[in-house]
């Protein structure tokens, strides 16, 4: 069974937890909370232009550009009521967020920071420097750290089309312990079912990395425009923005078990509350 709900224009991130589904809409500059039990929606303005969201310990953390020119912020909200409870500003735009066993981490572009959270007090903690290419040029200068994920003993971060890397950070030592060169432009990533999963938006593939060896072990064709990826319900789910589809992959075999059409051009996906939640542009 599928159903569609309107959210803000430019929805590009979704997270599930605390009995709510959170959607960040960049163009509209809004945040939407959905009650999955009845579909009731509550929307309000974000602090700037939101483009990523994660839920942790009853709070929602939203990464956004602005409100200062060229700067950004991470704002903390109550995950159920939606009320703003804290936050921290950045002199550069925050690229992506992740949370889980090791707390809340942010790719502040160009580096990665662990957030120190004490109730409503949010601050940046220890920083992990993400190195640029040894011989920097216009062709390999990284513009953004395109995605983060947590699990399998690490915090994982990808570069972008210019800097095609996957870094593994030890969350206790606060240092990079593995650098994995990718032969494709990484789009997004997720961790779960014993693997790290990176989407290849150029060749429309889901790439599996073994965290025991830090090596690519499998490449799986998925829908066109591969981007958002999530792990849950014993499956890996991948958005296909061009095909207007969600591909469901069996993580143990790498076999595509279902391709589900969606009305929107999907950008992000999350799994939880007895459903798979997909956001995108329906225009």
Residue by residue, pLDDT tens for the chain (283 residues) are 477 888 999 999 999 999 999 999 999 999 999 999 888 899 999 999 999 999 999 999 999 999 888 899 999 999 999 999 999 998 888 999 999 999 999 998 889 999 999 999 999 999 999 998 888 888 888 889 999 999 999 999 999 999 999 999 999 999 999 999 999 999 999 999 999 999 999 999 999 999 999 999 999 999 999 999 999 999 999 999 999 999 999 999 999 999 999 988 999 999 997 799 999 987 6
Cβ-count burial of 104 within 10 angstroms (0-12 exposed, 13-18 middle, 19+ buried)?
A: buried
Q: What is the pLDDT of residue 17?
A: 95
Question: Class for domain 9-143, per CATH?
Answer: mainly beta
The three-class DSSP label of residue 141 is coil
- Dihedral (CA of 185, 231, 166, 72) sign: positive
The CA-atom distances, in angstroms, between 26 and each of 57, 82, 106, 232 are 24, 17, 18, 25
Dump the DSSP string for 203-252: TTEEEEEETTTTEEEEEEE--SSEEEEEEETTEEEEEETTTTEEEEE-TT
User: How far apart are alpha carbons 118 and 83 in whole angstroms?
Assistant: 17
Residues recorded for the chain: 283
User: How far apart are alpha carbons 188 and 239 in whole angstroms?
Assistant: 10
Rounded-to-10 torsion of CA 256, 208, 262, 27: -170
Distant-in-sequence, close-in-space partners of 201: CB < 8 Å, separation ≥ 6: 185, 187, 225, 226, 227
Phi, psi values for residue 193, rounded to 5°: 55, 35
Q: Give CATH for domain 182-272.
A: 2.40.10.480
Domain ranges of the chain: 9-143, 182-272
């Amino acid at each position: 069974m599928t159903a569609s709900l309107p959210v803000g224009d430019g929805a590009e991130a979704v997270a599930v937890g605390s009995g709510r589904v959170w959607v960040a809409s960049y163009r509209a500059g809004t945040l939407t909370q959905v009650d999955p039990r009845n579909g009731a929606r509550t929307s309000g303005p974000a602090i700037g232009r939101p483009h990523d969201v994660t839920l942790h310990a009853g709070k929602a953390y939203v990464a956004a550009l602005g409100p200062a020119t060229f700067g950004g912020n991470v704002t903390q909200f109550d995950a159920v009521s939606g009320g703003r409870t804290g936050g921290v500003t950045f002199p550069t735009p925050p690229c992506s967020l992740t949370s889980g066993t090791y707390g809340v981490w942010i790719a502040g572009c160009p580096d990665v920071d662990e957030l120190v959270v004490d109730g409503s007090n949010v601050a940046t903690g220890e920083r992990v420097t993400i190195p640029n290419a040894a011989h920097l040029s216009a062709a390999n200068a990284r513009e953004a750290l395109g995605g983060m994920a947590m699990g399998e003993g690490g915090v994982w971060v990808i570069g972008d089309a210019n800097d095609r890397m996957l870094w593994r950070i030890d969350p206790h030592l606060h240092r990079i312990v593995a650098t994995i060169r990718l032969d494709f432009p990484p789009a997004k990533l997720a961790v779960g079912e014993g693997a790290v999963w990176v989407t290849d938006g150029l060749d429309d593939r889901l790439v599996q990395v073994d965290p025991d060896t830090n090596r690519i072990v499998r490449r799986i064709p998925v829908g066109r425009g591969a981007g958002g990826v999530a792990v849950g319900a014993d499956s890996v789910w991948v958005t296909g923005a061009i095909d207007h589809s969600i591909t469901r992959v069996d993580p143990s075999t790498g076999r595509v078990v279902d391709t589900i059409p969606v009305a929107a051009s999907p950008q992000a996906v999350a799994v939880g509350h007895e459903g798979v939640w997909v956001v995108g542009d329906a225009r």
